[in-house]
């Protein structure tokens, strides 16, 4: 038997350098890196998700981006490839869709002050999105909306932070409109918007 050794943890800077040189996306949690998986549980790079997952992400990006057009760089909408940095660099995730409207959140490779995050759920990611990521996301002072969008059926769970700082939960129902308001930004989402042209 080999000798037991303490596993070396990567520093934040080592992770960022590693990620910049990598062809595959990795998330970072307390010094450990994790290879992202596709909807079939396989390692994926940029194009490793299902058609349903891709269409849903595109629909969310389209509707949120349409509402931000003409507002300059004040509000940015990003899909899949923008890192989110949390807890002073202890966590880096790749949310499926992220919206931020903070003028001082201007790093080119990651965002720290999102107003809205959406994760598109698959068999391999649903548990992490509902537990580990949600525990991290709910601590973000700027975050007001967190959507969990199912890629296997038409179902959207969402959390909204109220004016007292409490998180409220609901399921988006058919015909209901979810209003997204971040500083000077406003958008609306419906189930029909999110699942447009998605075939199960």
Give the CATH number of the domain where residue 164 resides: 3.90.1570.10
Overall average pLDDT of the 126-143 stretch: 94
- The predicted pLDDT at position 49 comes to 78
In this model, does residue 32 exceed pLDDT 80? yes
Number of structural domains (the chain) is 1
Token digits of residue 3: 């000798």
- Rounded-to-integer distance, Cα 73 and Cα 150, Å: 30
- The predicted pLDDT at position 174 comes to 94
Overall average pLDDT of the 32-41 stretch: 65
Contact 86, 110 (CB under 8 A): no
Q: How confident is the model at residue 65 (pLDDT cuts 50, 70, 90)?
A: very high
- The predicted pLDDT at position 44 comes to 43
Which structural domain, as residue segments, surrounds residue 188? 50-194
- The predicted pLDDT at position 73 comes to 59
Q: Give the H/E segment covering residue 59.
A: helix 51-68
Q: Residue 38 falls within a domain, yes or no?
A: no
- The predicted pLDDT at position 123 comes to 87
Alpha helices in the chain (DSSP H): 12-21, 51-68, 126-130, 132-137, 191-194
Other C-beta atoms lying within 10 Å of the C-beta of residue 116: 26
Q: Residue 174 falls within a domain, yes or no?
A: yes
Token digits of residue 66: 């349409």
* Residue labelled with tokens 């059926």: 153
- The predicted pLDDT at position 68 comes to 85
In this model, does residue 148 exceed pLDDT 80? yes
């Amino acid at each position: 038997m080999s000798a037991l050794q303490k596993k070396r943890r990567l520093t934040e800077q080592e992770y960022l350098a590693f990620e910049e040189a990598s062809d595959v996306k990795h998330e970072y949690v307390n010094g450990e890196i994790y290879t992202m998986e596709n909807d079939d549980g396989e390692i994926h790079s940029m194009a490793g998700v299902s058609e349903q997952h891709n269409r849903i992400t595109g629909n969310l990006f389209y509707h949120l981006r349409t509402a931000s057009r003409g507002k300059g760089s004040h509000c940015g909408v990003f899909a899949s490839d923008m890192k989110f940095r949390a807890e002073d660099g202890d966590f880096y995730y790749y949310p499926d869709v992220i919206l931020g409207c903070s003028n001082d959140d201007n790093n080119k490779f990651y965002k720290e002050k999102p107003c809205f995050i959406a994760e598109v759920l698959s068999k391999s990611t649903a548990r992490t999105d509902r537990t580990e990521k949600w525990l991290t996301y709910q601590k973000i002072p700027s975050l007001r909306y967190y959507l969990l969008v199912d890629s296997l059926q038409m179902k959207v769970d969402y959390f909204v932070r109220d004016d007292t700082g409490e998180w409220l939960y609901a399921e988006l129902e058919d015909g209901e409109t979810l209003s997204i308001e971040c500083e000077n930004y406003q958008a609306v989402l419906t189930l029909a918007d999110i699942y447009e042209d998605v075939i199960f």
